[in-house]
Amino acid sequence: MSANPATERTPKRIGRRRGVSLLLNHSVLLLLVAFALGPMVILVFNSLKTQAELGRNPLGFPESFVWQNFPDAWEIGRFSATMGNSGLLVLMTVSGVLLLGGMAAYSLAKLDLPGSGLVMLYLLVGASVPLQLFLVPLFFLWNRLGLTNSLPGLALIYIATNAPFAIFLLRSYMVQLPRDFEDAARVDGAGEFRIFTGIVAPLAWPGFLTVGLVVSLAVWNEFLLATVFLTDQKLFTVVTSYYNFTAQFSRNWALTSAGALMMIFPIIATFLLLQRRFIEGLTQGGLKG
Amino acid sequence: MSSNDTFDALSRAMARRASRRTAIKGGAALASAGVISGAALSSSSGVAAQDGANITFWFDTTGGAETAQCLIDNIVNPFNAQGGTQVEATMQPNGWTATQTALAGGAGPDIVVTPGPTYVMELAKAGQLLNLDEAAAAHGWDQTVLPWALDLGRVDGSIYSIPHEVESLVLWYNATLFDEHGWEVPNTMDELITLSQAVQDAGLIPFAHGNQEWRPANEWFVGEWLNQLAGPDLVYAALTGEAQWTDPAFVDAISKLNDMQQNGWFYGGLDRYYTGASADTASSLAYGDSAMKIEGTWFFSDAMMFFEESGQEWGWAPFPSTDGTDIFDLGIGSTYSINARTAAPEASAEFLNYWFSPEAQGIAVSVCGMGPAPVSIPEELLEGIDARQAAMINAVADASAAGNYGYTTWTFFPPKTITFLIENIERVWAGDLSVEDFLAEMQSVFDPELAAGDVPPLPARS
Amino acid sequence: MSAANPRLDLTVTHPKVRFWQTLFFRRKIVPWLFVLPILLINVSVVLGPAISSVYYSMTEWSGVGEARFIGLDNFRRLLLEDRSFRVAFRNNLLWLGIFLTLPMAMALTAASLLAPIKRGALFYRLTLFLPYVLPSVITASIWRNLMHPDRGVGAQLSEWGISGFDRAFLGDPKTVLPAIAFVDNWHWWGFLMVLFLASMQNISQDLYEAARLDGANRWQEFRDVTIPGIRPTLVFMVLMTAIWSFLTFDYVWILTQGGPAGSSEVLASLVVKNAIQRFEAGYASAIGLTMSVFVGIIISIFVLLRRRGWEI
C-alpha cells in the first residue's frame, strides 16, 4: 500500500497496477468471505445432521442428510402462523420509517431546518436511552391508549426506536446529493413534498434500501418488545415462536439450526431481491461521474 | 451490536432454575379426561363461579414448551371442556419479564405465575395480587396444600400465592461407572471428598458441572454446602437473624466448596465450568466421563434421555452431609397467584383449586414429568412412573412433612443476597475475594433485607 | 414559532399571496412539518416515558410498587461504592476501543477493495453481509460451539498441530471480553462495510481520475478521495458506534451474563440485573441515566466539532 508515487506516474504503469491489484482485492475479499461464511456453512451442515451425529461430528460435512429436520422445525415452530405477523410488522414499520424518517432527513439535509442542531441532538440522545429504562412507563401509556396487543401499536414503537438511526443515515446520503435537480424543480414551482418524493428520494435510493433492510432485520429479530407488547398468541411473531421452539429443543441443536435457517430465509431472500435493485438503483441514479 | 433485538437469557433467567426438557410418558393410564373433569366439577360445585367467565393464564415456556403444551392439553383443555369458566392459556417465551411489565403497567393475565416467593412478596406489597385468604378458606386449601408451602405464600400473614413444583438438590451419579470402579455412593462429605480424589486419580472428572447457560447454578452449590455442612438449623438461624453468615461453620463450608472447585473437580477447571453447557455436562455424566452431578430433582427427565442414549445406568442419593444425615434442601419452581385487577376473581380461584387438585397434579407428574405441587397425591395417581423418580418424590415429601429440611437459596433467601452470592462466589473462586470477606459482605447485603422484611416466610423448624 | 419576521414576510409586496405561499412559511414552517410527525412519535415512545425514569433514579423503587424519594443517594452509591459499576464502565470503554478500530478497519478495507470490482460484486456484498442477518441468539450459539475447547475450531487446529486455540476463551476472565467482542464483530462488520460501500458508490469517478492523473497511489487515493468522500457516513458510524458501545447488551448477556467473576460486566447488564433480579428498579434507572449521560458527553463532543465546521 506504500508504493512510491514518483515511480508510478505513467498511465501504462497505472494500468498494469490495476490489473494486478484486482487480483489482490479478490484474494483478500475471499479470505473475508471464508471468515463470514464458515460458521454459517457449519450451521447449514448441522441443520442436516441427527442429534447423535452432531455430538460426534460437530464441524464437518453431514454423513447423511436429514431433510426431515426442516418440516419438523416448521411444524414445531408454528412458523406458518407467525411469519405473517412478522411480515406485517416489518411492512408497517419500514413504510413508516422510510416515509416519516425520510421526510425528516430531507428537512435536515436540504431545507435548512431552523433549529436542526437541536433536532439532531434530540435524536441522538433519544438513541442513547436504554430500552430497559422506559419499558414499564411505555407499557403503561400504551395500555391506556389501547395500543398493546396490536400490531400497529407495536409498529409505532418500532418506528420510534428505529427513527434516529434511519434519519441520520438517510440524511448522510442526501447531504451527498448535488443540489442542481431540486433547485431547478424549485424554480419551476414544485412543492417540497413533490421534490422529496419525486427527486431526492429516488436519488437517495440506495440509502433508502439500506435503511429499509436494516430496519426490517431489526424488527424481524426483535424479541423483548414483541413478547411484552403482544400477549395474544394469534399475534405472536416469528422470533416468539422461534424461542418457544429453542426452549423446547435446546438440546437438539440440529433441529434448532434448521429452525434458525428457516427464520432467516425470508430475510435473505428479500436481501437478494433488494441487492439486484440496489445495483440497478445505483446505475439509474445517474450519479456516476 | 444492535442493542435491542434479543433477550433470551434474560427470560431464561427469570423463568426457571434450569431448563427441564421433559419426556412425555404416554403410558400413564389416568390421563383420561373423564377422571379429571369429574373431579373438577365436584370440587367447584360449592362456589358460585361467574357464568362463562374467561380468564387468561400465561405459561412460561423458557424451560420447555413441550411441558407447557402437555399441561395445556392434559389439564387446561379438560377443564375448559366441562363448560363454564374458560381458561385461555398462552405459551409465553418471555413469561416473567412480560408479566412484570404488564403488571407494573396496569394489565397482565388473571393467573399470575412468578419464579418464586421473593417475587410474590414484591408484587403483593405493590398491591398487584389478590389476597387469597377467602379463596383458601372456601376451597379448603389448608387441607390440601402442605403447611410449609402454604406459609411460603404468605405476605404479612395473608396468603397471596401457592407454590408449584417442589424440588430439591440431590447427588446424581453414573451407576455403571461406580460399579466398574467399585466405588461406594458417599454418605458424608469426607467420603465425597475422598471419592472425588479417587475419581480424579482414575483420570475422570468428579462432577459434571457447568454454568454457561445458567449462571445462577452457582447458588446451588453455595446453598448446598451451607446447608449440608453447617446444617439447616444454622442456616435457619442465619436467615432469621439469630446467627451470622460469618459463622466459622459457614466459613468452613464455603472453603471446602472453594477447595473442590480449585482442585478442578467441577468439570476439570474453572474455565470449563464457565463454558460447560447443560447438554455437555449431561452427556459427560451419561457416557461416564464424569462420575457425579449435583443438580435438582428436575434433572430426572434429562437423566432418562441422556442415559438411554448412552446405554448406561444412573442413580441418585441424598447429598452427603457432615455426619451422614439425609438432608433435603427444599425449593419451589414457580408460584401461582391471582391478579388484583382480575374481573373474575371467583373463576380464577376456581381454576387454581382445580390446578392444585391431586388429580391435576397427578397428571402433571405422571404424564408431563413435572415436579409435583406441594399437595399429597394419592399413590394410585402416580402409578407407572419410574421407581427412582417415585423414590425421589417420596423422600422429598417425607422430608417436608418431617420438617427437617434445608433451605434452597432461590426459594428462601432474599433477592439481593441471592444475586450477591451468585456473582461473588465467582470472585472467591478467582482468588479475588477471601471466603471470610465473601461471607462478611454477604452479611452486609443480607442485614438490610432482613430488616426490610424481604426474607420469605420461614416455616418454624420442628 | 412566534410572529412572522417582517423581513421575510413577502405578503407586503404580494397582497394576494396566502400564508402558506409566503417565503416565511416555506423557509421556516415547511421544514418543521417534515420533521414533526416522526418527532411526535419518538417523543411519545421514548422521551416521555424515559423522563419518568429521571424521577425513579432518585427513588428506592422495586419496579412494581410505590417509589420512595431518596434524592441523589443512588448516584452516590453508584459512583462511590459500587465496584461492579467501575468494572462495567471500564469494560464499556474497552468495548468502545475495540469497536472503533477492528470493525472499522475491516469494513473500510473490504469496502475499498470491493468498490472497484464489477464482476462478482454482488457475491461479495451478499456473503460479507450475511452474518448481520442472524439474530444474536443464533450467532452466539454458533460461536459458543466453535469456541468450545473440546469440539470447536481450536480443538481441530490443535489436531493439525496448531496449538493455543483450544482454550475456553469465554471462561477465562482475561480473554472473555475480547472473545465476546469477537463474536459480536463477526456479525457486525459486514453491515458496516455495506454502509461504507454504498457511500463510496456515490463518490464521483472524476475525483479518482483526477487523483490518478496527479499520480496518487492507492493509499493516497484512499486517504484523499475515498475517506473525504464517505466522511459523513464514516463520522456518523463512529458516533453510532460510540453510542451503541455504551448500550451493548445482547452478546454479553447471552454468552456470559457478565461473568466469570464479573469480568465481562457492562452497564446494560448491570441495569437488567438490578431491575429484574434484585428489585432495585430505582437504582437501575440511575445506572441507565448515567449511561445516557456518558453518551451525552460523546454527543456533545461531536456537536462541538460540528460547530467548528466539520460536516457530520
pLDDT tens-place values along chain B, 462 residues long: 333 333 333 333 333 333 333 333 333 333 333 334 333 333 333 344 445 789 999 887 665 677 788 889 999 999 999 888 999 988 887 778 889 889 988 889 999 999 889 889 989 988 999 999 999 999 999 888 988 889 899 998 999 999 988 899 999 999 999 999 999 999 999 999 999 999 999 999 999 999 888 888 999 999 999 999 999 999 999 999 999 999 999 999 999 999 999 999 999 999 999 988 888 888 899 999 999 999 998 888 888 888 988 899 999 999 999 988 899 999 998 999 999 999 999 999 999 999 999 899 988 888 888 888 888 888 788 877 888 988 898 888 888 888 779 999 999 999 999 999 999 999 999 999 999 999 999 999 999 999 999 999 888 787
Residue B77, C-alpha cell as written in the block? 383443555
Cβ(A128)–Cβ(C246) below 8 Å: yes
Contact check, Cβ <8 Å, B101/A231: no
Residue A126: which of C42, C125, C212 has the nearest Cβ? C42
Mark whether B158 and B173 lie in a shared domain. no
What Cα–Cα distance (Å) separates residue A198 from each residue in A204, C21, C78, C137, C180? Answer: 11, 20, 53, 41, 45
**Chain C CB within 8 Å of residue A61 CB:** no
In chain A, positions 172-191, which contact chain C (CB-CB < 8 Å)? 172-173, 175-176
Give the nearest chain C residue to B96 (CA atoms): C276
Q: Which of C145, C212, C306 is nearest residue A58 as measured by Cβ atoms?
A: C145
Gap between the Cα atoms of B214 and B292, Å rounded: 19
Rounded (to 5) percent helix, strand, coil in chain A: 80, 0, 20
CA-to-CA distance for B29 and B384, rounded, in angstroms?
8
Q: Identify the closest residue of chain A to C207 by CA–CA distance.
A: A289
Q: Which of C297, C312, C310 lies closest to C89 in space, CA to CA?
A: C297
Collect all residues of chain C within an 8 Å Cβ-Cβ radius of residue A7.
Answer: none
Cell representation of residue C174: 482475561
Element (H, E) at B59: strand B54-60
Cβ within 8 Å, pair A260-C138 = yes
Domain match, B248 and B384 both: no
Q: From chain C, pick out residues whose CB is under 8 angstroms from the CB of A124.
A: 239, 243, 295, 299, 302
- Whether A281 has its CB under 8 Å from any CB of chain C: the answer is no
The verdict on a CB contact (< 8 Å) between B97 and C276 is yes
The answer as to whether B413 is a domain residue is: no
CB contact (8 A) between residue B98 and residue A228: yes
Q: Which chains touch A (3 or more CB pairs under 8 A)?
A: B, C
The per-residue pLDDT for range C175-191, each reduced to its tens digit, is 999 999 999 999 999 98
Contact with chain C for residue B274, Cβ under 8 A? yes
Cell digits for A39?
460458521
- What kind of fold does domain C89-266 have according to CATH? MetI-like fold (1.10.3720)
Closest Cα in chain B to A131? B4
Q: Which residues pair with B375 in a beta bridge?
A: B145
**Does the bond joining A5 to the residue before it have cis omega, within 30 degrees of 0?**
no
Q: Is the distance from CB of C50 to CB of C288 less than 8 angstroms? A: no
CB-closest option in C38, C216, C295 to A5: C216
**DSSP class of B129:** B
Same domain, residue pair B49 and B142: yes
Q: Which residues of A touch C142 (CB under 8 A)?
A: 39-40, 42-43
Residue of C nearest to A164 (CA): C42
Note whether C278 contacts B415, CB cutoff 8 Å. Answer: yes
| Mean pLDDT across C23-42 | 87
- Using 70 as the pLDDT threshold, list the residues of chain A that sit under it: 1-21, 55, 244-251, 276-289
Instruction: Tell me whether residues A130 and B3 touch, CB distance under 8 A.
Output: yes
Q: Which of residues 278-307 of C touch A (CB under 8 A)?
A: 281, 284-285, 288-289, 291-292, 295-296, 299, 302-303, 306
Cα–Cα separations (whole angstroms), residue B338 to B128, B159, B392, B431: 9, 11, 31, 46
How many Cβ pairs within 8 Å bridge chains A and B? Answer: 107
Q: Which residues of chain A make contact with C295, given a CB cutoff of 8 A?
A: 124-125, 128
Residue at B286 is within a domain: yes
Using CA atoms, how far apart are residues A172 and A113, in angstroms rounded to an integer? 15
The more confidently predicted of residues A204 and C99 is: C99
Q: Is A187 exposed, middle or buried (0-12, 13-18, 19+ CB in 10 A)?
A: exposed
**Which residue in C has a C-alpha nearest to residue B277's C-alpha?**
C144
DSSP state of B188: B
Using CB atoms, pick whichever of C48, C133, C143 lies closest to residue A271: C133
Cα–Cα distance between B423 and C263 in angstroms, integer? 10
Domain match, B236 and B353 both: no
Residues in chain B with CB shorter than 8 Å from the CB of C188 are 1
Question: Which chains form contacts with chain B, at 3 or more CB pairs under 8 Å?
Answer: A, C
Q: Please give the residue range of the domain that contains residue B113.
A: 22-166+331-404
Same domain, B346 and B374: yes
Task: HSE, CB side, 13 Å, CA atoms: give it for residue A115.
Answer: 13
Across the interface, whether the CB atoms of B10 and C276 are under 8 A apart is answered: yes
C66 by Cβ neighbours in 10 Å (0-12 / 13-18 / 19+) ranks as exposed
Q: How far is CA B262 from CA B214, B255, B442, C92, in A?
A: 20, 10, 21, 30
- For the entire predicted model, the pTM comes to 0.85
Q: How many domains, chain B?
A: 2
**What is the dihedral angle through the alpha carbons of A105, A109, A113, A116, rounded to the nearest 10 degrees?**
80
Å between A263 CA and nearest CA of chain B: 14
Q: What 8-state DSSP symbol labels residue B371?
A: P
**ipTM of this model?**
0.82
Are the beta carbons of C252 and C269 closer than 8 angstroms?
Answer: yes
pLDDT reported for residue C161: 84
Contact B432/C at CB under 8 A: yes
How many residues can be counted in chain B? 462
Domain final position from B329, B360, B375: B329
Minimum-distance CB partner of A161 among C45, C246, C289: C45
Domain co-membership, B225 together with B320: yes
CA C44 – CA C47 distance, rounded (Å): 6
Mean pLDDT on C101-126:
89
Query: Within an 8 Å CB–CB cutoff, is residue A168 touching chain C?
Result: yes
From A139, A223, A233, residue closest to B7, measured CB to CB: A223
Q: Do residues B391 and B305 both lie within one domain? A: no
DSSP string covering C31-64: HHHHHHHHHHHHIIIIIHHHHHHHHHTTEE--SS
Distance from CA of C226 to the nearest CA of A (A): 13
Distance from CA of C292 to the nearest CA of A (A): 6
| Residues B117, B32 within the same domain | yes
Confidence class for position C14, pLDDT limits 50, 70, 90: low
CA distance to partner chain C, nearest, from residue A98 (Å): 10
- What pLDDT digit, counting tens, does each position of A157-194 carry? 999 999 998 998 888 888 878 888 888 888 888 888 88
Where are the domains positioned within chain C? 89-266
Of the two residues B32 and C84, the one the predictor is more confident about is C84
Which residue carries 431448563 as its cell? Answer: B19
Residue B23 touches chain A, beta carbons under 8 Å: no
DSSP state at residue A252: -
- Quick check: A263 contacting B, CB < 8 Å? no
Q: What distance lies between CA A83 and its chain's CA centroid?
A: 17
Domain final residue pick, B296, B311, B329: B329
The residue out of B267, B297, B329 marking a domain boundary is B329
pLDDT in tens, A34-79: 999 999 998 888 888 877 777 677 778 888 888 888 888 887 777 8
Q: Give chain C positions within 8 Å (CB) of B212.
A: 144, 170-171, 256
Residues sharing a CB contact under 8 Å with residue B452, sequence separation 6 or more, in sequence order: none
Q: Tell me the C-alpha distance between A146 and B137, whole Å.
A: 37
Is residue C148 within 8 Å of B275, Cβ to Cβ? yes
Same domain? For B304 and B380 the reply is no
* Stretch 88-117 of chain C: residues touching chain A, C-beta under 8 Å: 106, 109-110, 113-114, 116-117
Residues B383 and B296 in one domain: no
CB B263 within 8 A of CB B269: no
- Whole-number pLDDT of residue A154: 96
CB contact under 8 A, C47 and A126: yes
- C110–A29 CB contact, under 8 Å: yes
What residues of B are in contact with residue C260 (Cβ under 8 Å)? 270-271, 274, 426, 429-430
Residue A3 is predicted with a pLDDT of: 40
Give the sign of the dihedral formed by CA B260, CA B263, CA B267, CA B273. Answer: positive
- CA C19 → CA B142, C4, C14, C29, C257, distances in Å? 77, 10, 11, 10, 59
Q: What distance in Å separates the CA atoms of residue B162 and residue B337, rounded to the nearest whole number? A: 7
